[in-house]
Amino acid sequence: MDDESVAIGSESFVEEVGRRLRAIRRQQHLSLEDVEQRSGGRWSASAIGAYERGYRNLSLGRLRELADFYGVPISVLVGEIDLRPEAAQARLGRITLDIGALERQSEAVAVVRYVQSIAMERGDFNGRMLTLRREDLRVLGAVLQLTEAELVDQLRDWGVLHRVAESPELDLTGTAGS
C-alpha cells in the first residue's frame, strides 16, 4: 500500500490535507489569487487550488513552507488538530469569536483584553478567531456580572459570534422555549 492510498475516514490523506489548506486559507479571508500575490508568485493560484482539491501531492518541505506562509503549525495541516465541523460540535459549551469584529466594539474593551490574554496563553496561531471554553465563559460572565446566557446574548448583539457549539446544560443558541 502506498502513502497516497492511506485513508482517513473516507478521504485520502492528500484530500484531508487539501481540505485543511482550504479551510485555513478561507479562515484568513484569502482567495487563491491573494495567496499568489502575497507570496510574490511563490505559490500560484492554480497550484494552491490543486493542493486543496487533492489533485497534487505536497512534499513535507513544501507543506512546511505553506504552514509557515499561513502562520499555522504543520500539525494543523496533517490532522493532529481536528478542524472538522463535527469535531467542533463535540466540544460542548464553546463559542468561537471573531476577534477583529470584537476589537471594533468600543464597549468591549474588557472582553478584548480577556480574549487577547487567552489567545496569548494558548499560543493561538490564527489571531482572527478564538474559541472560548465553558470555563472562559464563566469567568468572563462573572467579571462582567452577566450570566453565561446573557454574555452570549451580548456577544451576539455585538455581532462577534462566529460559531456557538451546543451545550446540554445551557442553551447558548438563544432558542430556548421557541
Ordered per-residue pLDDT tens for the chain, 178 residues: 344 333 334 457 888 889 889 988 988 889 999 999 999 999 999 999 999 998 988 888 999 999 888 888 887 788 765 544 444 333 335 788 888 888 899 888 888 888 888 887 777 656 688 888 877 888 888 888 888 778 888 888 999 887 665 443 433 434 433 3
Separation of first and last alpha carbons in the chain: 53
Which residue among 78, 101, 134 closes a domain?
78
Quote the CA–CA distance of 127 and 120 in Å, as a whole number.
9
Q: Is residue 43 part of a domain?
A: yes
CATH of residue 56: 1.10.260.40
- Are residue 160 and residue 138 in the same domain, yes or no? yes
- Are residue 129 and residue 74 in the same domain, yes or no? no
Which residue among 44, 78, 112 closes a domain?
78
C-alpha separations of 142 from 37, 111, 132, 145, 148 in Å: 45, 12, 14, 5, 9
Quote the CA–CA distance of 130 and 99 in Å, as a whole number.
7
Which residue among 26, 61, 78 closes a domain?
78
Q: Is residue 51 part of a domain?
A: yes
- Are residue 129 and residue 72 in the same domain, yes or no? no
- Are residue 59 and residue 20 in the same domain, yes or no? yes
pLDDT of residue 50: 93
pLDDT of residue 4: 38
Q: Is residue 123 part of a domain?
A: yes
Owning domain of residue 69: 3-78
pLDDT of residue 164: 64
Quote the CA–CA distance of 136 and 124 in Å, as a whole number.
15
CATH of residue 117: 1.10.10.1930
What's the number of domains the chain is made of? 2
Q: Is residue 37 part of a domain?
A: yes
pLDDT of residue 84: 46
- Are residue 99 and residue 45 in the same domain, yes or no? no
- Are residue 67 and residue 106 in the same domain, yes or no? no
Quote the CA–CA distance of 57 and 36 in Å, as a whole number.
18
Q: Is residue 128 part of a domain?
A: yes
pLDDT of residue 165: 57
Q: Is residue 175 part of a domain?
A: no
Q: Return the closest-CA partner of residue 130 out of 100, 88, 106, 98.
A: 98
- Are residue 92 and residue 159 in the same domain, yes or no? yes
Q: Is residue 178 part of a domain?
A: no
- Are residue 99 and residue 41 in the same domain, yes or no? no
Q: Is 151 left (phi over 0), alpha (psi -120 to 50) or beta?
A: alpha
